[in-house]
């Protein structure tokens, strides 16, 4: 499964996901760095990937329908240190099978998860 990590997310997550065997496209290290949300969303669809972002715009299901993706994982804004952000994503990925959030929006909070 491919995962696209938006540049709004701690870059440390990219290395962690890669070491655990995920195929990761990091927007921060690609030619698409600094691109608009629509282009990132189109890349997610084109690659058949999961998107991980802290960009609130990706929670707008009318603008970015999650059902056209393999899932959108939104990390809710807050004062998270990079290690906390990485831990929240790792905990989510280990606790939830992909079919639980495939084509859906998963919002990760510090202490909970909401999938819709």
> Residue 105 sits in a domain of what CATH number?
3.40.50
How far apart CA 38 and CA 26 sit, in angstroms, is 16
Q: Which tokens is 104 given? A: 């859906």
Model pLDDT for residues 36-95, shown as the tens digit of each residue: 899 999 999 999 999 999 999 999 999 999 999 999 999 997 788 899 999 999 999 999
Q: Which of 25, 19, 18 is nearest to 53 (CA)?
A: 25
Total domain count for the chain? Answer: 1
Q: What pTM was computed for the model?
A: 0.94
- The token pair that represents 39 in the structure block: 């282009």
pLDDT in tens, 3-52: 999 999 999 999 999 999 999 999 998 765 567 899 999 999 999 999 99
CB 49 within 8 A of CB 2: yes
Q: Domain range holding 24?
A: 2-115
């Amino acid at each position: 499964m491919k995962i696209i990590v938006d540049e709004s997310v701690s870059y440390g997550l990219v290395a962690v996901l890669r070491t655990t065997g995920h195929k990761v496209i990091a927007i921060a290290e690609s030619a698409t760095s600094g691109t608009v949300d629509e282009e990132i969303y189109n890349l997610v669809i084109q690659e058949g990937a999961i998107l991980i972002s802290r960009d609130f715009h990706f929670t707008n299901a009318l603008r970015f329908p999650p059902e056209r993706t393999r899932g959108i994982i939104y990390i809710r804004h807050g004062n998270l240190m990079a290690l906390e952000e990485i831990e929240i994503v790792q905990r989510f990925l280990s606790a939830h099978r992909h079919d639980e959030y495939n084509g859906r929006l998963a919002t990760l909070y510090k202490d909970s998860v909401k999938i819709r």
